[in-house]
Amino acid sequence: MEGSGSLIFLVLMVGVFYFLLIRPQQRRMKAMQSLQSSLQLGDEVITSAGFFGIIRRFDGEVVTIELSPGVEARVNRRAISGKVNPETVADEPAESAEVADEEERPER
């Protein structure tokens, strides 16, 4: 009886590890692979280092992104962590302006 309880506990632990650790990691890997395969010229992306840029050229695993007009950087395709939505970028300056206004107000 004692051996079957330990076996059930072991099976439950393997199940918990699978659903909490292995399965989510596999989903993240599939999402990252689909993102990297869907990259196209002209896409605005963000790198894992936090740089925003527009894809200008592909050379195998190396992607050339334009950080600002006339400034290009070469990064590994795996360093691109996501695409930037135009709506998100448009909202950011408004939010930062509100924060700047709050910082300039004197406290009473």
Q: In terms of residue numbers, what domain contains 11?
A: 1-38
31 with 79, same domain: the answer is no
Pairing label, strands 80-83, 71-76: unpaired
The amino acid at 14: V
Q: What whole-number distance in Å separates Cα of residue 56 and Cα of residue 38?
A: 15
pLDDT of residue 96: 47
Q: Which residue, chain included where needed, has tokens 């406290």?
A: 107
54 with 86, same domain: the answer is yes
- Higher per-residue confidence, 108 vs 31: 31
106 with 69, same domain: the answer is yes
Question: Is there a contact between 17 and 2 (Cβ–Cβ < 8 Å)?
Answer: no
pLDDT of residue 38: 86
47 with 32, same domain: the answer is no
Report pTM. 0.59
pLDDT of residue 47: 93
User: What would the mean pLDDT of 74-100 be, rounded to a whole number?
Assistant: 69
* Cα radius of gyration rounded to whole Å, the chain: 23
How many domains is the chain built from? 2
Q: What whole-number distance in Å separates Cα of residue 12 and Cα of residue 50?
A: 40
4 with 18, same domain: the answer is yes
